[in-house]
Structure 1
Amino acid sequence: MGYVTVISSSIVRPQNTNQSGQTKIHLTPFDLSFLQIDYPTRGLLFPKPDQDFHLISRLKASLSLALDIYFPFAGRLVKTDNLEDNTVSFFIHCDGSGARFNHAEAKSISVSDLLQPHGCFPDFTKHFFPADDLKSSDGVTEPLLVIQVTEMKDGVFIGYCYNHMVADGVSMWRFLHTWSEICSSGLASEHSPLVLKKWFLKGIDYPIHIPVSEAKRPPPSCELSSVPITKDRVFRFSKKNISDLKAKVNSEVGSTEMKISSLQAVSAHMWRSIIRHSGLSREKETHCKVAVDLRQKVSPPLEKDCFGNMIYNAQATTTVEELLDHGLGWAAMRINKLVSSQTNEKLKSFAEDWVRNVKNLKSGLCSRKDCDTLLVASSPRFDVYNNDFGWGKPIGVQGGPGNSFSGKLALFQGIEEGSIDVQTTLWSDILVKLLADMEFLEHVTTE
């Protein structure tokens, strides 16, 4: 199997660098909690365009126009030293410095090599994603958005990573949709101006001061040689799989008022199934973290499509014994109540406490060796298959290597309507057990 070779790397700037007005974006506790987290990585797989499409030049020209609208992606992180109290502060400076654009080739790799049966991932897929090991704090010197376009034997892969302090999945996928529309039509004039979140909690002074020790970048790797190897696997939940899971939840809950979403039902099934094979003792605590969109949770609510990072990883905690002895409905209810309990008051309390006790920013995601925690990232609500750059819609979506640890789930819209793909990262020994679990596989499409 051939290698992926980067043949050029350049900076793409907004066509009109004055449009942003040199905007300065202050960062909230919800932003700054991602300071030492890897850039999230995602990618879309496309069929190969016609030779006369002028792929790279069109993508770069349309990216420049898209950055006119989504100008924060073309900015940089600025760090200020506060010598009076030995702290540092950060903000996003929308100075038009630009996004990085890598052009790569993988002429010996075909679409069928990426779309492996049974949801497996070939080792070479990590090379389709740019900027390995970039953390949000690196945005001081590195672009806030990095894109890699890889031309394959019979397809194109557009991989990207972005600084989580400037945007979340809601904003990133909206940007990608705008970029694809501009590339397809050649027009940018019909798009509305960007709406920044402009949301700050009263009683918190900005910029927030962070101890110098917490702001320093952690060592390059926190993996231990004795730690088992993680493997990625996609589990596909068809529309019928999800319907059956929700019916099981409702029969166990016995409440017509409780509205369990597809995401919550699938997450609960994954949580119980993975913990069942984790080897944890029954009295051990286990956690399920779910990324909650706060735009409609705060008061007054923000616009649903306002730009920025408005994600909070809410955590449900129970014991292994409780999780496994109760049914799927109980676990789904825990997740449902967790999401609905994120009120304005609770979020305000979290932010105020965070400012008072800025610590453990460097613990990151790689400290979880026990597989006692599941993190449910991304969302099947993101419209990933409607991003047509002018030569056809995507035929696959994939998460990249950033922030990988055993227990990470990335949920994507499936290519079939109403289905969900769960990209799962697990220790290899847990994955082997999961693949032999008939109770788990009953609700999963394995082909």
Structure 2
Amino acid sequence: MAGVVDLVSSSIVQPVNSNQAGRTKIHLTPFDLSLLSFNRPQRGLLFPKPDPSFHLICRLKTSLSLALDIYFPLAGRLVKTKNLEDSTVSFYVDCDDSGARFLHAETKSVSVSDILQPDGSVPCFLKHFFPGNGLRNCDGALEPLLVVQVTEMKDGVFICYCYNHLVADGVSMWDFFNTWCKICSSGGSSFNHKPLVLKGWFLEGIDYPIHIPVSETERPPPSRESSSVHTVKHWTLHFTKKNILDLKAKANSEVASNDQGISSLQAVSTHMWRLIIGHRGLSQEGETQCILAVDLRQRIDPPLEKDCFGNMVSLASAVTTVEELMDRSLGLAALQLRKLVSSQNNEKCKFFAEEWVRNVKNLKLGIGSKVVGDTIVIASSPRFEVYNKDFGWGKPIATRSGPSCSFDGKLTLFPGINEGSIDVHATLRSDVLVNLLADDVFLEHTTTA
């Protein structure tokens, strides 16, 4: 590992009980398969340094083995099969208990204060704290579905994971992480967890495994943003509880009384969408879009359990012209996002799935390849509980997202460390970021500390 981080060891952690009974293959839905060529998400938490008597690495690996016994799909492998009869391929997850990869790294030169920059900037060296950089969801059967990296610092510990989005989403991964924490903090012996509930959802009339043209699974050439003359920077923006309440109140005051109900998330997302697009120098007649990840568990009929394990994310897109976005009030623009989220129902899910199976195309392009300067992508959610995670020596100091699935216009949202606040991890063009940080409207509602 290059730079300030040295790799101490790499190992495979398997479930403590390798019991195959009832752990059959998991067939993938159109919602899963539409993410095949996306880069794998990376999430990390920064903790204070535990006492040496805690035996950090040993306890983390032992508790991970117990957690994987519960969340057994994460210990499986993605399998790709060739369908010779029609020159296609299919994918499924084999719950074979092959295990997750565990990386132990250390740095003697980095402290917590080096990561928590007062201006909100994300230091370049942080990319070495994340595993799986460049891994895609479709990358081979030899790649574990879950990779964990634990980096010991001078005065802290950074624990992060990279996961295959075909097998899980943010809801499932934070549930898994929470269980891992509880097992570790309790010593494992007294921890009880209900059996994992798989999503078990496949639309009637769609046969599986789904056949995909071979050409759609080939690795594409470098995407256009990688060769852009613009450089991108990673920045952490902070919205206090008051900032959010003010934006939410403003948005709801600008729409009709029967349309009020714009959420905090929608108000903040729209606020950032308008500000970023306003500084990109786009044609007023051109279109702009805001892409949101929507949890479908309670939106299909019959609904799934809220904590069922799997990937149940739909990418929904709100589209308007640059002129309309900038001329509308915050409230009217946010209302478009609210209506978009509300429209994600069983009928729309069914339509998407059926159309996707009928016309599989452009699959080899991940979302970063589709994003140009007119698009904002909102990932993760401030509703995920991240600051209650405690492995047994203290709660997190901060959370960060990794570089693998980032591109100009990507906004990853987390709850802030203070109740009711939101942190936005922004990846933006350098020129846009400079203008944003000097914008009075932006500074009125946002801090970078």
Per the TM superposition, whether the score is higher than 0.5 is: yes
2:138 aligned counterpart, secondary structure: helix
The answer to whether the 8 Å contact 1:292/1:311 transfers is yes
* Aligned partner of 2:209 among 204, 207, 210: 207
Deviation at 1:212, TM superposition (A): 0.2
Q: Distance in 2 between matches of 1:154 and 1:351?
A: 48
Deviation at 1:367, TM superposition (A): 2.4
2:336 aligned counterpart, secondary structure: helix
Partner of 1:29: 30
Deviation at 1:436, TM superposition (A): 1.1
Note the aligned Cα RMSD (angstroms): 1.4
Partner of 2:301: 299
Q: Distance in 2 between matches of 1:144 and 1:93?
A: 10
Deviation at 1:223, TM superposition (A): 4.8
Task: Normalising by structure 1, report the TM-score.
Answer: 0.98
Partner of 2:55: 54
1:112 aligned counterpart, secondary structure: helix
Task: Determine if the alignment matches structure 1 residue 136 to structure 2 residue 123.
Answer: no
Partner of 2:317: 315
Given the superposition, is the C-alpha separation of residues 138 and 224 from structure 1 closer, same or farther in structure 2, using an over 3 Å criterion?
Answer: closer
Partner of 1:85: 86
Where do residues 71-82 of structure 1 align in structure 2 (5 Å cutoff)?
71-82=72-83
Any idea what the Cα deviations from partners look like across 1:397-447, whole Å, max 9, x if unmatched?
A: 000002211110000010000000000111111111111111122111233
Deviation at 1:21, TM superposition (A): 3.3
Partner of 2:42: 41
Q: Distance in 2 between matches of 1:65 and 1:29?
A: 31
Q: Distance in 1 between matches of 2:221 and 2:196?
A: 36
2:292 aligned counterpart, secondary structure: strand
Name the aligned partner's letter for residue 394 of structure 1. P
The answer to whether the 8 Å contact 1:230/1:426 transfers is yes
Q: Distance in 2 between matches of 1:134 and 1:205?
A: 28
Q: Distance in 2 between matches of 1:153 and 1:430?
A: 34
Task: Determine if the alignment matches structure 1 residue 412 to structure 2 residue 414.
Answer: yes
* Aligned partner of 1:272 among 274, 282, 286: 274
Partner of 2:9: 8
Partner of 2:123: 122
Partner of 2:173: 172
1:191 aligned counterpart, secondary structure: coil
The answer to whether the 8 Å contact 2:110/2:154 transfers is yes
Q: Distance in 2 between matches of 1:368 and 1:361?
A: 11
| Number of residue pairs matched by the alignment | 447
Structure 1 residues not aligned, in runs of 5+: none
Partner of 2:156: 155
Task: Determine if the alignment matches structure 1 residue 244 to structure 2 residue 230.
Answer: no
Partner of 1:186: 187
2:411 aligned counterpart, secondary structure: strand
Q: Distance in 1 between matches of 2:374 and 2:259?
A: 31
Given the superposition, is the C-alpha separation of residues 440 and 403 from structure 1 closer, same or farther in structure 2, using an over 3 Å criterion?
Answer: same
Q: Distance in 2 between matches of 1:225 and 1:41?
A: 23
Q: Distance in 2 between matches of 1:369 and 1:127?
A: 25
2:254 aligned counterpart, secondary structure: helix
Q: Distance in 2 between matches of 1:239 and 1:254?
A: 25
1:442 aligned counterpart, secondary structure: helix
Deviation at 1:139, TM superposition (A): 4.4
Name the aligned partner's letter for residue 342 of structure 1. Q
Task: Normalising by structure 2, report the TM-score.
Answer: 0.97
The answer to whether the 8 Å contact 1:139/1:163 transfers is no
Any idea what the Cα deviations from partners look like across 1:358-385, whole Å, max 9, x if unmatched?
A: 1111221332563211110000000000
Q: Distance in 2 between matches of 1:306 and 1:339?
A: 21
Partner of 1:336: 338
Deviation at 1:236, TM superposition (A): 0.4
The answer to whether the 8 Å contact 2:8/2:106 transfers is yes
The answer to whether the 8 Å contact 1:100/1:147 transfers is yes
The answer to whether the 8 Å contact 2:132/2:404 transfers is no
The answer to whether the 8 Å contact 2:20/2:96 transfers is no
Any idea what the Cα deviations from partners look like across 1:176-230, whole Å, max 9, x if unmatched?
A: 0000000000226411110000001011111100000001223466654443111
Q: Distance in 1 between matches of 2:343 and 2:255?
A: 19
Q: Distance in 2 between matches of 1:174 and 1:17?
A: 21
Q: Distance in 2 between matches of 1:394 and 1:129?
A: 17
Deviation at 1:44, TM superposition (A): 0.2
Bigger CA drift: 360-369 or 410-419?
360-369
- Of all paired residues, the percent bearing the same amino acid is 69
2:179 aligned counterpart, secondary structure: helix
Given the superposition, is the C-alpha separation of residues 444 and 181 from structure 1 closer, same or farther in structure 2, using an over 3 Å criterion?
Answer: same
Deviation at 1:302, TM superposition (A): 0.2
Deviation at 1:233, TM superposition (A): 0.8
Q: Distance in 1 between matches of 2:254 and 2:228?
A: 41
Deviation at 1:251, TM superposition (A): 1.2
2:39 aligned counterpart, secondary structure: coil
Bigger CA drift: 188-197 or 310-319?
188-197
